[in-house]
Structure 1
Amino acid sequence: MSVPRSSVPLRLPYVLCAVLVLLLTGCGSGGLFGTEESAALKGASGASGVPGPPRTAASSPEASPVPSPVPPRQIPGLGPRTRAAIPAGTRQALVVTGEAMDSNRSTAVLYTRDSPTADWRAAMAPWPAHNALNGWTDEHWEGDLRSPVGVFTLTAAGGRLDPPATAFPYDLSPDFKVEGEGFHGEPLEGSFDYVIAIDYNRLPGTSPLDHTRPLGDERGGGIWIHVDHGGPTQGCVSLTEDRMKELLGLLDPAEEPVIVMGDAQSLLR
C-alpha cells in the first residue's frame, strides 16, 4: 500500500530558503543591522561603507590666528626711564643729545606724533647745538656750568626781536639783551634775540624773564633754548638763529611740547 505524498513536506525547502534570505538581509536595506545601527555604521565609515581615516583636530577648520598688536614706534636713543618721563599727552618732543657727559656739543631733533598712541617720527633733520661748558648733570647747581639732564616742558618764549609766526606765548622785550664774550672769546650779543624757556626750576607759562625759582636760587635757573653764539653756554641749549626761528614756528602749546635733554648715555636709562 503506497503512502500518499503530503504537500507540506514538499514546500518545506522553499520556506526554509525564504527564512534564510530574511535572516541574511534583515527587515530592510540595512543588512545585518537595523536601520539606526546601519546609519551609525555609515556615519563612522563613510557613505561607501568603507572605514575612513580617523578625524583629527588638524583636519577640522579653525579660525585664523589674530596677530599681536604692534607697539608704536618710539623715539630712538631713549631708555625706558626717559621715555616714561615724557607726559602721555605730549605730541612734540625736542630731543637734545650730548656727545658725552663732559661735552658741550649736542645734536637736536624735533619728534612729533599724531596721537598719544601713534608712532613718533622725526619732523626735521638733526641740528647742531651747544650746551653748557662742562657738559651735563643729573643735579644742577648754580655756577656748575652744566646743563640739567631730564625731560622738561616748554610753555613760553620771548626775545628782543619780533617773533616769527608762532603759536607760543611770546614776550617781546628789550630786556632780552646780553653783552660781553663767551668762553671762547666770541661775542654774546644777539644770543637772546629769540629764546624758549625750559621749565627747569621756574613757573611754567610765565615769561622767560620771570626769576621765580621754586627749588631755590642755589639750584640755578634761567635755562633757555636761545640763539647760538658759536660756543658753549653756562647751562642753556643754543641753536643757530635760523633754527631758532624754525623751531618757534613748529612748536605748538596744544601739542604739549617738551625738551628731552642730556648726554647720550644718560638718555638711554
Structure 2
Amino acid sequence: MNKLLKLISNNRKKFIILAASGVILCAAVVGVLIYTKDKNDKAEANKAVLTDTKKEEVTTKTTEADSNKEKTQAETAVAKSEPQFVEQKFTGKTTEVVNFRESPAETANILSKLAIRTIVDVLGKQEDWYKVKYDSKEGWINSKYLSEYTADDKKADDDAAKKQQESAAAAQKSAEAAKAASTSNSSTKSATNTQPAAPAPEVKKGFKSPQLSNSSQVILVTTSSMSSSYANIKFYQKNGEDWNLKTETNGRVGTSGLAYISNRMQSTNKTPAGVLGILSAFGISDNPGTKYSYAKVTDDMYWDLNSGSSTYNRLIHNNPGGDFEHLASYPTQYKYALVTDYNVNQTANKGGAIFVHINGSGGTAGCVSMPETQMRELITWVYPGQNPKILIIPSSDLSKYYY
C-alpha cells in the first residue's frame, strides 16, 4: 500500500491527467448516448408526425374521392332523369290523323291536327316523340304515328298524280272524239237523205243537274276514283246559255279520297262528294278582293269540331278544347280560304271545317286544295249573286251532272 501511495505521489501529475481524460471520455460517451437517444426520439416523433400527416392526406383524398364519386353519381342521376334529344334528319309521313303538339307531352298544347300521310321534316327524337317541322313551324308528334316517307312512297304519289292527269286528258280527248263522230254522222246522214231533214235543235254543252240550274259559276272537282286524293279542278262561267271554261288546274282532296255527302263522317279524311255552296271567306292575309264576307284570321280564331256542341262546325273566338282547328296554325293553307256549306245544320258526327284553300304538302283532311295562284283567282272571281257551286265527284259520275 505504501508502495502504491508512493507510486501515485511520484506520478501524481500523470494520474491527474489520466483521471481527467477518463472523466472526459465518460462525459463524451454519456453525451453521445444522450445525443443518440435524442436523435432517435426526434426520428420517432418525426415518423409519427409523417405517419399522421400521411393518414390525414389519405383521409382527405379518400374524402375528396368519396365527394367526387357522390357528385358524379348525382350528376349521372340528373343526366339520366332528363330526357335526351337525339338529332335525326329524314322525311316522315303521318300514319293517321295526329296532333301536332307544342312540346313532347300528351298534355302539351295542340298546334294543329295533321291529316294521314302528311309529309313532315323530322329534326330529331326525344324518348317517344319526334320533333318535326311542318309548314314552317316546329313541333312534336308521337313516334307511333310517324314513319319514314320513302322513295317508294314518293314514286307512288308521283305516279298517282300522273295517272290523274292522264285520266283527265283521256276524258277530254274522248269527249272531243265523241263530238267529232257525232258531227261526222250528222253530215253523212244529211248527204244520203234524198229529203232534207229538219235541223236538230242545238244542244248547249253544260251542266244539267237541277242542283246547278240556278248557278252561273261552277267549280268542278273530279278525281279518277273515290279513293284518290288527286283532283282536276275547273272553273266554269255561264254566259247566256253557254258554259265557258275559265281556268283549269290540279289540286288535292282528302287523303282517303271521297265519300258521298250522305255517307261522309267525321275524322275519316274524306272529302264530301256532291254539290256544295259557299258561305263566306277568311284568310291569314288581308282580303284580296273577294265579294264574300271576309274574316282576317287572328290567333284566337278556332273552328269547333266537338260534335254535340252548340258551336259545332262554327267559327269561334276561343279554344273549345277537344276537337278543333286553330286557323292561325295553317299560315300556308289558310292564306286564302272559302267556307262551304257542308253540314251547316250541325248533324252530329258528320264533321265540318270543309274549306277550299291553298295546297299544303299533300292530301287534306277533307277540304279541297289548289295552288295559290288559282286560289287567289277563285276567291276574287266567285260572286254571291251568281250562286256559285262546288261540284266534287269521281270522273265516272260526270255524265250525271254535265253534257
Specify the TM-score bucket, using the shorter chain as the normaliser: 0.5 to 0.7
Kindly name which structure, 1 or 2, has the bigger radius of gyration based on alpha carbons.
2
Structure number with higher helix proportion: 2
Q: Given the alignment of the two structures, is residue 226 of structure 1 paired with residue 376 of structure 2, yes or no?
A: no
**1:72 deviation in Å?**
1.8
Q: Given the alignment of the two structures, is residue 69 of structure 1 paired with residue 69 of structure 2, yes or no?
A: no
Q: Given the alignment of the two structures, is residue 119 of structure 1 paired with residue 119 of structure 2, yes or no?
A: no
Structure 2 residue corresponding to 1:141, chosen from 259, 265, 285: 265
Distance 1:119 1:198 in 2: 26
Query: What does residue 80 of structure 1 align with?
Result: none
Query: What does residue 391 of structure 2 align with?
Result: 260
Query: What does residue 200 of structure 1 align with?
Result: 342
Structure 2 residue corresponding to 1:157, chosen from 274, 281, 289: 281
Q: Given the alignment of the two structures, is residue 235 of structure 1 paired with residue 357 of structure 2, yes or no?
A: no
Q: Given the alignment of the two structures, is residue 130 of structure 1 paired with residue 130 of structure 2, yes or no?
A: no
Structure number with higher strand proportion: 2
Query: What does residue 86 of structure 1 align with?
Result: 211
1:154 match: secondary structure? strand
Q: Is the 8 A contact 1:85 1:151 kept in 2?
A: no
Structure 2 residue corresponding to 1:110, chosen from 235, 260, 283: 235
**1:173 deviation in Å?**
2.5
**1:133 deviation in Å?**
0.6
Q: Is the 8 A contact 1:261 1:267 kept in 2?
A: no
Change beyond 3 A, Cα 1:268–1:144: farther
The one-letter code matched in structure 2 to 1:168 is: Y
Distance 1:216 1:113 in 2: 33
TM-score (norm 1): 0.61
Q: Is the 8 A contact 2:269 2:365 kept in 1?
A: yes
Q: Is the 8 A contact 1:177 1:190 kept in 2?
A: no
Q: Which runs of 4+ in 1 moved over 4 A?
A: none
**1:248 deviation in Å?**
1.2
**1:65 deviation in Å?**
7.7
Identity of aligned residues (%): 24
Q: What's the CA shift string for 1:2-24, capped at 9, x where partnerless?
A: xxxxxxxxxxxxxxxxxxxxxxx
**1:100 deviation in Å?**
1.5
The one-letter code matched in structure 1 to 2:203 is: P
Q: Is the 8 A contact 2:297 2:328 kept in 1?
A: no
Distance 1:84 1:215 in 2: 26
**1:252 deviation in Å?**
1.0
The one-letter code matched in structure 2 to 1:73 is: K
Query: What does residue 97 of structure 1 align with?
Result: 222
Distance 1:155 1:69 in 2: 38
**1:155 deviation in Å?**
3.0
Distance 1:85 1:142 in 2: 28
Q: Is the 8 A contact 1:98 1:107 kept in 2?
A: yes
Distance 1:251 1:190 in 2: 21
Q: Is the 8 A contact 2:284 2:328 kept in 1?
A: no
Aligned positions of 1:10-49 closer than 5 A: none
Query: What does residue 177 of structure 1 align with?
Result: 327
1:123 match: secondary structure? strand
The one-letter code matched in structure 1 to 2:372 is: E
Distance 1:149 1:162 in 2: 30
Gaps of 5+ in 2: 1-195, 302-325
Change beyond 3 A, Cα 1:110–1:266: same
2:242 match: secondary structure? coil
1:145 match: secondary structure? coil
2:376 match: secondary structure? helix
Q: Is the 8 A contact 1:178 1:191 kept in 2?
A: no
Distance 2:356 2:274 in 1: 14
